[in-house]
Chains A and B, each alone.
Chain A
């Protein structure tokens, strides 16, 4: 074998990954059960599924455990896992009007069809650290569940149904901008095709549905803060379970189960495009796996922003938004800087050395000319 410092990478890698595994379990505590992660880390699971681009709560829980709770890493593991699966069907378009609603609110209207349903949310409570969580016991959980059960009136359970949508109200009144006939309405699958610009709206929404929540938030927030011109209102934000159907070989629609999704329709007052056209409202749309309200709000803000090309505002720029909110790709490339770069660096080193030398020689010539002039 040749030069020592370059060899022996394999052993080092094995030791490093063994050490990482040791860090995960070194406390010698009870292993976290996948069911526990699924149940108690609900929102982390939903983030991982959304960014991982696959609806599989159980696998998301495994990934989260494996990644010591790092959501980026877990999403990345899921994306890779997804690659190993054959795509057998494309589902029919899900219909969120069929949603079994667990939460639905509107900020645009005081009252909406079916009423405002707050559902599971921490939005309206103080985020004070609840130290009692540190000493929570199985008995505490049981007591809470029993009390909770006692409050449910079984007779009223039947009353729950689906609800109409807020945008229907606006549509009936003729306040929504008519569909733009020039918009690219083609449907592409971003997991099978590389995105091209300008991208159809289908591709933009898909990219954002898989995008990293923090990245979307930074750009969505920038648009509200003044880097852009989107001042939106939540028309309707809803979270719940929707049925998924696929078409079988015989052409029949088959129900294959339910998935939980969060959906948001953002209302924006639009400027009149031409003289004589009224200032309609437009709808920005956001939908993602699981329960992630921040994501769909930013998504729909950016959906509106990207439909209004405007220079100088990153949020209005498709390429800027879509490329830089892709978390798995951004994380990978950022971290590749940790890999060795000595060959490429060598190449620039040789150029820079030569350029510095040329510069020094040129300075020397000037100095000599100065000395000569002074001596004359």
Chain B
């Protein structure tokens, strides 16, 4: 008797079919070749919602191999609900080992953070990007932003930063602070806090960005200039945690999350959950250093 296998089909390795994975990898090569430039791609539907990290998943699934050790964080945490869900999915579809340990991972997918620990040239970090177009806040039409990028016409962007300064006394862009990549393209670094932005500059690691809903990929290859937009007299600044410290470790030199207790008091804790664990256990960690953090320290902060 012929067995009915209609409902028992196994999924392809890493879920997506091979032809589409190949397409995504080719588009990634293009993205790496033109740092900061957004490359349109097919963006197949995933079993997770649009806007929940489909772009990151496309890249992860397109580049992951059987030997990879996979880590995924959401807002710095390995245990955030979405991260748990995606980790299980990637693990289920590839059989890859997963880890919480930043140093151990070969492939890291992230939402809204770069790890506090410095990444190496053996690692790739994949960003989930909600809004890839940095010019969207000044120009709503895609065909116009495309033209502006082509002509490197970024005047509107600078004007908007200037207007923000005039109105509020500071450039109010919080997360996702726009950056200039390789002196050519303005890029949205995904909504990472300003704290993380300088770590993109001249890094050893390959940074890949995937915006699923908007169907765009882009990349920052290792050792590439990534400069936050600023003016001669008004400079980019990172978040200031000088007056607060992690309540568990007393550590100041990391991005801190604000947490409120039931009675309304406020305390801070290190946002990166793996880094917090390592600090709590007094383990060795190799942290990013950049001029902005070092500056804070010079001021005795």
Contact = CB atoms under 8 A, between A and B. Distances in A.
Nearest to B248: A3
Contact of A84 (B12, B23, B54): B12
A195 to B, nearest CB: 8
Contact of A80 (B46, B168, B174): B46
B226 to A, nearest CB: 18
Interface residues of A, number: 56
Contacts of B146: 196
B213 A333 contact: yes
A10 B79 CA distance: 7
Nearest to A333: B51
Interface in A316-333: 319, 328-333
A6 B113 CA distance: 15
B169 A358 contact: yes
Contacts of B269: 3
B186 to A, nearest CB: 19
Interface in B142-189: 142-143, 146, 168-170, 172, 174-176
Interface stretch (A166-174, A271-279, A334-342): A334-342
Contacts of A164: none
A347 B16 CA distance: 35
B296 interface: no
A202 interface: no
Contacts, number: 174
Nearest to A75: B45
Given A194-B215, A197-B142, A343-B112, A336 B172 contact: no
Given A2-B280, A3-B248, A344-B193, A351 B82 contact: no
A13 interface: yes
A266 B136 CA distance: 35
A355 B88 contact: no
A319 B11 contact: no
A344 B174 contact: yes
A143 B168 CA distance: 76
A249 to B, nearest CB: 17
Contacts of A6: 77, 79-80, 273
B243 to A, nearest CB: 10
B47 A341 contact: no
Secondary structure type dominating chain B contacts: loop
A351 B273 contact: no
Contacts of A83: 15-17, 20, 44-46
B280 A329 contact: no
Interface string A5-41: 1111110110000000000000000000000000000
Contacts of B50: 328-333
A9 B258 contact: no
B191 interface: yes
Contacts of B11: 84
B80 A340 contact: yes
A87 interface: yes
B239 A194 contact: no
A138 B164 CA distance: 69
Contacts of A161: none
A355 B79 contact: no
Interface stretch (B35-43, B101-109, B118-126, B286-294): B35-43
B277 A1 contact: yes
A5 B258 CA distance: 13
Contact of A13 (B85, B168, B169): B85
A214 interface: no
A9 B50 CA distance: 21
A332 B74 contact: no
Contacts of A343: 75-76, 112-113, 175, 191-193, 255, 257, 271
A356 to B, nearest CB: 10
A42 interface: no
Nearest to A350: B239
Contact of A197 (B84, B141, B172, B256): B141
A12 B20 CA distance: 34
A13 B84 contact: yes
Given A86-B19, A333-B51, A344-B191, A355 B172 contact: yes
A294 interface: no
Interface in A59-96: 76-77, 79-87
B236 interface: no
Interface in A345-364: 346-351, 354-355, 358
A9 B85 CA distance: 9
Contacts of B130: 333, 336
A9 B175 contact: no
B52 A339 contact: yes
Given A10-B84, A336-B49, A194 B77 contact: no
A63 to B, nearest CB: 11
Contacts of A328: 45, 50
Contacts of A198: 143
A130 interface: no
A191 interface: yes
Contact of B213 (A84, A197, A329, A349): A329
Interface in A84-141: 84-87
Contact of B143 (A79, A80, A197, A351): A197
B194 interface: yes
Contacts of A76: 45, 49
Contacts of A339: 52, 74, 80-82
A336 B81 CA distance: 12
User: Shortest 3 CB-CB distances between A and B: which pairs?
Assistant: A332-B50, A194-B40, A332-B49
Given A332-B49, A343-B191, A343-B193, 13 more contacts: A3-B276, A10-B88, A83-B46, A193-B42, A194-B41, A328-B50, A332-B50, A336-B130, A346-B239, A346-B271, A347-B193, A355-B169, A358-B169
14 contacts: A3-B273, A9-B81, A53-B45, A83-B44, A84-B12, A84-B15, A194-B43, A194-B216, A197-B141, A330-B50, A332-B51, A332-B54, A343-B192, A344-B75
